[in-house]
Structure 1
Amino acid sequence: MGADGGVVGDRTLAFLAGLHRLVIRVTGGRLGWRLGRLEVVELHTRGRRSGERRSAMLTAPIVDDDRIVLVASKGGADRHPAWYLNLVADPRVELTTRTGLRPMIARTADADERAALWPRVVRSYAGYRRYQERTARVIPVVICEPAT
């Protein structure tokens, strides 16, 4: 949160993501792929307007064998993060994980899937519950599965 009690701004998030990438690079990947109990991934999308490759450092509260779940929380902001809008426009994404680059297809969990996943999400990180309480929008849960 910002100094005024609001949500962290886009510039701050971009700075922190760049710092996170630097830690991973400088340590040869020994540090940075976990944040507490959460795995960290780098999501690569195509800009919905620009068509340019875009990247976002994110935590993944659920990582199963062939499925990685992301949460488009943006810290409880009232608008969706740009990375989420990009993958809605083009669900073909790539995820960089500790083990390498993985082509995936991303989709928003439907209401039943979200209801089933949400308890696991908040068990992984209770902050997601606070983020949902902070905003009127339903925070999307994104399921990424291997591209075929």
Structure 2
Amino acid sequence: MSFDTPNGTRGARQPGAGPLMRWMNRFVMNRIRRKGAKTMGMNALVLTTVGRKTGQPRSTPVSYFADGDNSWLIVASAAGAPKNPAWYYNIAAHPDRVQIEMGNRRVDVTAAQLHGAERTRAWQQITETAPRFAKYGRQTDRELPVIRLTGL
């Protein structure tokens, strides 16, 4: 399945990438790696991708939703911003070079963007579990990409 969601033209302000946000992301990722923590009341994992331009590993904390025994759903919401987050493009460039961490568990995964009825079912599950994602979807005119991560 293709990673083909274009950026939108309107939406919420994308979370900044300044020193405070970098510190906060490091803090949250260390907590997730130690305890498998929740972030803002939702399950969270550390997503590590390969930079599409640099080829370097890039890690970020992301909320996830269980999708079976060895599968997880994530949303490229960027909090309802008009642009997809950078990690979305990294996954699109290297969907077979993705790793996730939850507590002391590290899993190599492959990524696939969901489309059509499969996305609709997953989106319904996500918004019922975490209504803030429905809000993010209303804030922007892009369709928020839903991505399935499947353990190798």
2:85 maps to 1:66? no
Residue of structure 1 in register with 2:133 after alignment: 128
1:35 to 34, 39, 55: 39
Unmatched 5+ residue regions in structure 1?
A: none
The alignment partner of 2:92 has SS state of helix
SS at match of 2:87: helix
More displaced 10-residue stretch of structure 1: 74-83 or 93-102: 93-102
CA positional deviation for 1:34: 1.6
Which runs of 5 or more structure 2 residues have no equivalent in the other structure? 1-11
Structure 1 runs of 4+ with >6 Å offset: none
Q: Let me know the Cα RMSD of the aligned residues.
A: 1.9
Normalising by the residue count of structure 1, what TM-score does the alignment of the two structures yield?
Answer: 0.84
Q: Identity of aligned pairs, percent? A: 24
**Matched letter for residue 102 of structure 1:** V
Question: 1:22 Cα shift?
Answer: 3.8
Match of 1:18 in 2: 26
Change (3 A) 1:24 1:139: closer
CA contact (8 A) 2:47 2:59 kept: yes
Instruction: With the length of structure 2 as denominator, give the TM-score of the two structures.
Output: 0.82
Q: Quick one: distance in 2 between partners of 1:17 and 1:40?
A: 12
Secondary structure of 2:52's match? Answer: coil
Q: CA deviation at 1:21?
A: 2.5
Secondary structure (helix, strand or coil) at the match of 1:19 reads: helix
2:103 match? 98
Q: Which has the higher contact order (CA 8 A, sep 6+)?
A: 2
Deviation at 1:82, TM superposition (A): 0.6
Which residue is 1:9 aligned to? 16
Q: CA deviation at 1:66?
A: 1.1
Give me the whole-angstrom Cα distance separating, in 2, the residues matched to 1:36 and 1:16: 13
